[in-house]
Chain A
Amino acid sequence: MIAEFGHLALILAFMLSLFQMTVPMVGAAKGWHGWMDSARPAALAQLMLMLISFGALTVAFVTSDFSVKLVHDNSHTSKPLIYKISGVWGNHEGSLLLWVLILALFGAAAAVFGNNLPPTLRARVLAVQASVTAAFYGFIIFTSNPFWRMGNPPFDGRDLNPLLQDPGLAFHPPFLYLGYVGLSMAFSFAVAALIEGRVDAAWARWVRPWTLAAWVFLTIGIALGSWWAYYELGWGGFWFWDPVENASFMPWLLAAALLHSAIVVEKREALKSWTILLAIMAFGFSLIGTFIVRSGLITSVHSFANDPERGIVILAILVFFVGGALTLYAVRAPVMTAKGVFAPVSREGALVLNNVLLAVSAFVVFVGTMWPLIAEMVWGRILSVGPPFFNQAFTPFMVVLALVLPLGSIMPWKRGSLGRSLRPLRGALVLTAAVMALVFAVSTGRSALAVIGAGLGAWLVFGAIAELVHRTGNSGLSRLTRLPRADWGKAVSHAGLGITFIAIALITAWQVEDIRVAQIDEPYPLGPYEIVLRSVDRVDGPNYISAMGTLEVTRDGRPVATLTPEKRVYTVQNMPTTEASIDYGFFRDVYLVLGDQQPDGGWAVRGYIRPFANWIWGGSILMALGGLISLTDRRYRVAAGAARDARARGAVPAE
Chain B
Amino acid sequence: MRRAVLHALALALALALSPAAPVMAVQPDEVLEDAGLESRARALSQKLRCPVCAGENIDESNAPISRDLRIYVRERLVAGDSDTEVLDNVADRFGEYVLFEPRAEGINWLLWLSAPLMGMIAMIVAWRFLVGRAQARPEEDARLSEAERRRLDEIMRGN
Contact = CB atoms under 8 A, between A and B. Distances in A.
A417 B27 CA distance: 58
- How many interface residues does chain B have, given as a range? 35 or more
Contacts of B26: 515, 606
B119 A397 contact: yes
B159 to A, nearest CB: 5
Nearest to B27: A604
A242 B54 CA distance: 10
Contacts of B97: 382-384
Contacts of A598: 28-29
Interface in B1-34: 2-3, 5-6, 9-10, 12-13, 16-17, 19-20, 22-29, 31
B28 A270 contact: no
Contact of A389 (B22, B100, B142, B156): B100
A242 B19 CA distance: 28
Given A118-B151, A545-B16, A574-B20, A344 B102 contact: no
Contacts of A601: 3, 6
Given A340-B133, A598-B28, A386 B111 contact: no
Contact of A356 (B60, B95, B126, B156): B126
B86 interface: no
A653 B57 CA distance: 70
Contacts of A367: 111, 114-115, 118
A381 interface: yes
Q: Which of B23, B98, B159 has the most CB of A within 10 A?
A: B159
A360 B111 contact: no
A301 B56 contact: yes
B102 A578 contact: no
B100 A386 contact: yes
A567 B138 contact: no
B36 to A, nearest CB: 14
B65 interface: no
B113 to A, nearest CB: 10
Q: Which of A342, A383, A567 has the most CB of B within 10 A?
A: A383
B157 interface: yes
Contacts of A389: 100-102, 111-112
Interface in A534-556: 535-538, 545, 547
Interface in B107-149: 107-108, 111-112, 114-115, 118-119, 122-123, 126-127, 129-131, 133-134, 136-139, 142
Interface residues of A, number: 78
Interface string A292-322: 0000000111010000000000000000000
A380 to B, nearest CB: 11
A384 B25 contact: no
Contacts of B138: 339, 341
A640 to B, nearest CB: 14
A654 B158 contact: yes
A386 B61 CA distance: 15
Contacts of A375: 107-108
A536 B139 CA distance: 77
B4 to A, nearest CB: 12
B137 A341 contact: yes
A356 B47 CA distance: 30
A529 interface: no
B96 A383 contact: yes
B122 A359 contact: yes
Nearest to B43: A388
A387 interface: yes
Interface in A601-655: 601, 604, 606, 646, 649, 653-654
A382 B19 contact: no
A381 B133 contact: no
Nearest to A393: B115
B63 interface: no
Interface string B55-96: 111001000000000000000000000000000000000011
B118 A364 contact: yes
B28 A516 contact: yes
B6 A536 contact: yes
A522 to B, nearest CB: 14
Contacts, number: 180
B150 to A, nearest CB: 10
A547 B9 contact: yes
A341 B129 CA distance: 11
A576 B8 CA distance: 19
Contacts of A386: 47, 49, 55, 57, 100-101
Given A339-B139, A646-B159, A649-B158, A237 B102 contact: no
B12 A388 contact: no
Contacts of A653: 157-158
Contact of A545 (B12, B60, B118, B136): B12
Nearest to A296: B54
Contacts of B29: 517, 598
Nearest to B24: A595
Contacts of B139: 337, 339
B55 A593 contact: no
Q: Which of A301, A384, A597, A649 has the most CB of B within 10 A?
A: A384
Contacts of A545: 12-13, 16
A240 B60 CA distance: 11
Contacts of A206: none
Contact of B9 (A348, A349, A536): A536
Interface of B: 2-3, 5-6, 9-10, 12-13, 16-17, 19-20, 22-29, 31, 46-47, 49, 53-57, 60, 95-102, 107-108, 111-112, 114-115, 118-119, 122-123, 126-127, 129-131, 133-134, 136-139, 142, 151, 156-159
Given A359-B122, A384-B49, A653-B158, 10 more contacts: A240-B55, A299-B55, A352-B130, A360-B118, A385-B102, A394-B115, A537-B5, A538-B12, A574-B20, A604-B28
Interface of A: 118, 233-235, 237, 240, 242-243, 270, 299-301, 303, 337-344, 348-349, 352-353, 355-356, 359-360, 363-364, 367-368, 371, 375, 379, 381-389, 393-394, 396-397, 515-517, 520, 535-538, 545, 547, 567, 569, 571, 574-576, 578, 593, 595-598, 601, 604, 606, 646, 649, 653-654
